Amino acid sequence: MSRLEWQVATVEAVLPETPRVKTFVLRLPHWQPHRAGQHYTLRLTAPDGYQAQRSYSIASPPEQTGQIALTIELIEEGEVSGYLFEGVQAGDQLEVRGPIGGYFVWEATRQAGPLLLVAGGSGVVPLMAMLRHRQQASVPNPTVLLYSVRTPEDVIYGQELQAMAATDSTFTLLLTFTRQAPTGWTGYQRRLDAALLTEVLRRFPTSPQCFICGPNGLVEAAATGLAAQGVPPENIRTERFGPSSNP
């Protein structure tokens, strides 16, 4: 079966991540291997034939076979996300097509050098697939996730990321809160800027491969800032969604 053909997936689980984010675990009748960073398109069809479709990044690692996990943020007035949040539950069926994408991907066996992941809000989803893939492949490359969120309740995969950082000395989690930080927080409390990116880059022995995903403003700031610090353009890959303000 071609990855461009539609297939009907069965919802196996719906997992709450934050008040506005859920992960939908889908069982696929025609599962195909994917690469960390790819996405699926999800299509809804109304009784009158009206269709709406959106693309969502895969959160699960390539090593997870037979199913995929799509982590989806509820968007105000969003046709597809609104429907998914209103009542889709285990046992329901959804039409999907994929995996899609070949540029914003990371493969542990081929790209085992230093790795910098920069996320804003739900832009962490494809980067989480990379981190899970890295963990499954047991690749000890120096890796940093710089994750910008508004408030503590907006941190997607918070417990899993904290556990990764606690058990893997080669992985560093850096959170920066832009609106409200946890009580007693001593880490970053601002949007991404040149000084912050400079500090992060100092953690690497050599220039890292960089993947940036999030709202337009954050992606532009991070990509421009990293390039200004001397990171080669070929080492910077971006994926964005918008329009939106920075987290």
Q: Are strands 236-241 and 209-215 parallel, antiparallel or unpaired?
A: parallel
Mean pLDDT of the chain: 95
Task: Tell me: pLDDT of 243 over 80.
Answer: no
Confidence of residue 112 (pLDDT cuts 50, 70, 90): confident
| Portion of the chain with pLDDT greater than 90, in percent | 91
| Residue 151 token pair | 């408030």
Task: Tell me: pLDDT of 237 over 60.
Answer: yes
Q: What is the mean pLDDT of residues 28-47?
A: 96
Task: Tell me: pLDDT of 244 over 50.
Answer: no
User: 10 Å Cβ neighbour count for 49?
Assistant: 6
Q: What is the mean pLDDT of residues 35-45?
A: 97
Task: Tell me: pLDDT of 247 over 60.
Answer: no
Q: What is the pTM of this model?
A: 0.95
Q: Which residue has the higher pLDDT, 213 or 77?
A: 213
**Rounded CA separation 210/198 (Å):** 14
Confidence of residue 99 (pLDDT cuts 50, 70, 90): very high
Task: Tell me: pLDDT of 3 over 80.
Answer: no
| pLDDT for residue 4 | 84
Measured in degrees and rounded to the nearest 5, phi and psi for residue 227 equal: -65, -40
Confidence of residue 200 (pLDDT cuts 50, 70, 90): very high
Domains and CATH numbers, the chain: 7-100 (2.40.30.10), 115-241 (3.40.50.80)
**Closest to 200 (Cα-Cα) out of 129, 128, 125, 143:** 143
Task: Mention every residue, 6+ apart, whose C-beta is less than 8 A from residue 186.
Answer: none
